[in-house]
Every structure is written in C-alpha cells, then in structure tokens.
C-alpha cells in the first residue's frame, strides 16, 4: 500500500475537457491505478479501456459554478501579481531615467531621458492591457466550461 505520483506510473493525457486518459507504462499496474483514482475522494469513476488494458478513461465531471468562480478569482490574483511585477520593473527603469533627467548619467541628455521615460510608461500600459485581455479571455473560457 505505497503511494506513488501518478506521473511515475502513467502518462496523463487530457483528450477533451471532460475526459482524461491515463496510459499506464506497465499495463499490470492499471487496475491499481484505476482503484487509486476511484478511491481518491475526488468523485471520479475511472473505466478500463476495453481495447487497451493499459489505458484508463476518466470521465471528468463538469465543474460547479462555485469551482469556476474560485478559478476565476485565482486568475484575477495571478494577473494582479503579474501587474505588480511589471510595475516593479517600471519603477526600476524609471529610477535610471530619473538619474538621466537629473544629469547624473553621462552621455544621456535630459530630453532623451524624458522621452525614454514616456516610452517606459507606454510599454507598461500596453503590457497591463495585454494582461487584462488575457484575464478576460481566460475568464470567459473558464465560465464556458
């Protein structure tokens, strides 16, 4: 009765959003893998493939509205973390630009420093928009499941 990671016993293939295939490396372990998945407490009902005894088909239940809302909330948190990282990078770049504006960097005029500062702000806003677009698309995808 030892436990092993699923990935060490079989290849996990997501064939459709509602179906997962477990291709066991050693077909003799398939019944034990099937039983372990069934007894995992995840409300799954794995079925041995009739044609290939080393393959287990796991029908996946549709996620509840509560589960989907939780995933969307997590997506929002991850997007905010990404935006914070972008802002941190912007802040570091703006610190260098400020030195240029103050004349503390040799070979960089104040005008160049000001122009680069504007470019940094533009890129930061663009990346924020891309992140928002990805969040919107992924939210739609999750809610459509």
CA–CA gap between residue 101 and residue 18 (Å, rounded): 57
pLDDT for res 45: 94
Burial state string for 104-115 with b = 16 or more CB within 10 A and e = fewer than 16: eeeebeeeebee
Please give the model's pTM, rounded to 2 decimal places: 0.66
45: helix, strand or coil? coil
Quickly list H helices, the chain: 6-9, 30-38, 65-101, 110-144
CA–CA gap between residue 56 and residue 38 (Å, rounded): 11
Q: Give the chain's residues under pLDDT 70.
A: 1
pLDDT for res 1: 59
Order the strands of the 10-16 sheet from edge to edge.
10-16, 19-24, 55-59, 47-48
CA–CA gap between residue 83 and residue 87 (Å, rounded): 6
């Amino acid at each position: 009765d030892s436990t092993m990671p699923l990935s060490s016993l079989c290849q996990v293939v997501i064939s459709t959003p509602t179906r997962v295939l477990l291709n066991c490396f050693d077909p003799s372990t398939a019944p034990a893998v099937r039983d372990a998945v069934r007894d995992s407490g995840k409300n799954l009902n794995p079925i041995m493939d009739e044609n290939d005894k080393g393959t287990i088909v796991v029908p996946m239940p549709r996620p509840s509205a509560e589960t989907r809302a939780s995933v969307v909330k997590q997506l929002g948190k991850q997007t905010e973390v990404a935006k914070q990282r972008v802002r941190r990078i912007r802040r570091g770049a703006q610190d260098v630009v400020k030195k240029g504006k103050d004349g503390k960097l040799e070979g960089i005029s104040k005008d160049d420093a000001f122009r680069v500062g504007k470019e940094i702000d533009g890129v930061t806003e663009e990346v924020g928009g891309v992140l928002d677009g990805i969040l919107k698309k992924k939210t739609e995808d999750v809610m459509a499941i």
